[in-house]
Amino acid sequence: MKDLNIESKNIFGALSECKQGFLIPDYQRPYAWGEDECQQLWDDFLEFAKPGEWGDFDYDKERYFLGSIVTFKNEEGKFEVIDGQQRLTTILLLLRAFHQRYSQSKDERCEEVCRQLNKCLWKVSEEGKPLKGNPKIMSNVVSKEHSGEFEQIITEGEAGEKWESNYAKNYNFFLQKIDRFVGKYLSDNFYLPIRIMNNVTLLLIEADSQLSALRIFSTLNDRGLPLSDADIFKSQFYKFFNEKGRKDEFVERWKQLEERVSEIFASGRGSPMDELFTRYMYFEWARQGIRTNTTKALRDFFSAGNYKLLKDEVTLQNLEKLANFWKQVADQDPEAFSEEVLKRLFVLNYAPNGMWTYICSVYFLTRCDKEGKLNNEEFLAFLRRITALIFSYALTIPGGNALRTPLYPAMNELADEKSKKDVTFENFKFKEKDLRETFKMTKFSNSRAITRTILTWYAFNFQDQKLLELTDNFQLEHIYARNRHKVQPLKKADMLESLGNKSLLERKINISASDYQFEDKRRKYTDEKSGTKIWELREQVASNKDFKYKDIERREMQIVDAFIEFLKQEDLIETA
């Protein structure tokens, strides 16, 4: 950070001295404080200001710290509020409520209070008259339902009868509190707003740029969610559509997009919308022909060229298309995909990392038709090929970083409009001997992602395996039970944790099938009503009278052989 200005000021100084005014930018989340927060603030102010005990208040020493306000000066000279929107907006609503009630009094002391309030609420003329069309805080938060209500309340001093926004509710709340307070402390009520303005302090932190301000917010804030990257991106789209006179259209489209994305992406390190932008970033990364394996941070990527990508309607259209695609994947939509495609997507859902979603996003946006549909046969071939590569890498070179080497060039090839090459990974083939050795050396414990990855692939290696629902809860089953091993130890103890002794199994069955006798397990697996949906476990494993060391050894070899054969089919095994 080149420059950082930090100053402690009382509310009167912070608002009256800010000639440019504060701006709640459009990428901020909507104003969210409700009655609980307002009640707490009111109670704190009353306790601090000691109504009824006015002589005990020391104006030089008494201080109430309200919190920090993080801002930066934008191109228009206004201070954009990055942190502190809730408390700053609420303070202005409270001061406006005081002004509304005190301006109705003929008491000279109340008139003096109003003159001070004027300087906090609005810009004032050279003669000291309030310019009520120029409030000290402007809000550009994107909200189709409550657009302009905050400014109207500050300007007019009234909230519409049917207004349901938090602005209106909180403003009316403060009016009621002030009415009751005036009734209780009729002679000395004017002291309360004076003490709030003069003795309640804020820590004003002015950063040199938006990025610096956001970093400060992330460091300081421990009570709310920091702004996501998508919140910043939304503001750029908003400005673009607003300039074209299509603000309401954008607000509605963005709302629908957020609702759809929240249904399919879980909130992790970022928001669901951040995940959508991440998947889209790889498409743009590939389309621009970027060859480096070092990916930029999301905000850095989309801010390039003064947010050039976000000033293009095609970008929003592509985001909507991509969200629809992943919604169809999450819904396992039979109208969009064949059953074989859905099976492959189910298997990839158990990949040990999310790299497959990035290359699938690139594939979709480069191969879909005008209606957003894919050729199922071609898509199936693509899914088989990336499954073979990604799962082999997960086995031999664990970690998502290693996958960049083969996947990034493949994404570039997909996005090359001239070549329209199919993904082959011809330069990233595996040696059969090395793969078999890796299977021998790998410990397939239940805690390792690769164990579930390979077993899921194996379950669907059988044509008779039916599609399973993504919402089904599967655990890893020890076919030769651990309890049985304690009583009847296997010839080699490490075979207990081998792939040959494990399978996917529904959680509810796994709980009830924990007995060490195989006969009990087989009955659970094959029950007509409540048996497992894993075909190989039900039809092949449970067809045996017992399941012992040789069965484990044989099944492990079958899994390894099947996986090697799969890679041969996808031309990913080196030939002599």
pLDDT in tens, 30-43: 888 999 999 999 99
Mean pLDDT, the chain, whole residue set: 88
As a whole number, mean pLDDT of residues 473-478 equals 92
pLDDT at 93: 96
Among the listed ranges 123-127, 404-408, 456-460, which one has the minimum average pLDDT value?
123-127
DSSP 573: B
**Model pLDDT, residue 184:** 59
User: Tokens standing for 570?
Assistant: 């996808």
Q: What is the pLDDT of residues 424-455, one digit of tens each?
A: 999 999 999 999 999 999 999 999 999 999 99
Percent of the chain with pLDDT over 90: 54
Which amino acid would we find at residue 190?
F
The answer to whether the CB of 367 falls within 8 A of the CB of 378 is yes
Q: What's the rounded mean pLDDT across residues 345-359? A: 95
Cα 271 from Cα 278, distance rounded (Å): 11
Q: How confident is the model at residue 181 (pLDDT cuts 50, 70, 90)?
A: confident
Question: What would the mean pLDDT of 189-204 be, rounded to a whole number?
Answer: 87
pLDDT in tens, 102-127: 888 877 888 888 999 999 999 888 77
Can you list the alpha helix ranges (DSSP code H) found in 157-207? 166-184, 191-199
Mean pLDDT of 354-380: 96
Per-residue pLDDT at 54 exceeds 60:
no
Average pLDDT over residues 486-493: 87
Q: Is the pLDDT of residue 49 over 90?
A: no
Residues with Cβ within 8 Å of 182's Cβ and at least 6 positions away in sequence, in order, are 101, 189
Distance CA 84, CA 82 (A): 7
How far is it, in rounded angstroms, from Cα 23 to Cα 319?
29
Comparing 149-153, 512-516, 523-527, the range with the smallest average pLDDT is: 512-516
Residues 273-302 have a mean pLDDT of 89
Distance (Å) of CA 63 to CA 129, 196, 337, 510: 29, 10, 65, 62
Mean pLDDT, range 324-353, rounded to an integer = 97
* 380 or 133: which leads in pLDDT: 380
Give the lowest-confidence range in 50-59, 289-298, 343-352, 465-474: 50-59
Q: How far apart are CA 346 and CA 465, in angstroms?
A: 12
Q: What is the SS3 assignment for 375?
A: coil
Inter-residue contact 69 to 81 (CB < 8 Å): yes
Say yes or no to pLDDT of 511 above 90: no
In this model, does residue 222 exceed pLDDT 50?
no
Q: From 179, 134, 184, 173, select the one nearest 155 (Cα to Cα).
A: 134
Give the pLDDT score at 223: 45
Q: Are 83 and 222 in contact, with CB atoms under 8 Å apart?
A: no
pLDDT, position 268? 58
Length, in residues, of the chain? 576
Give the E-state strand segments of 62-136 in sequence order. 64-73, 79-83, 122-124, 130-135
In which band, very low, low, confident or very high, does the pLDDT at 4 lie, cut at 50, 70 and 90?
confident
Which residue from 147, 133, 136, 20 is spatially nearest to 75, judged by alpha carbons? Answer: 20
Tens digit of pLDDT for each residue in 384-401? Answer: 999 999 999 999 998 778
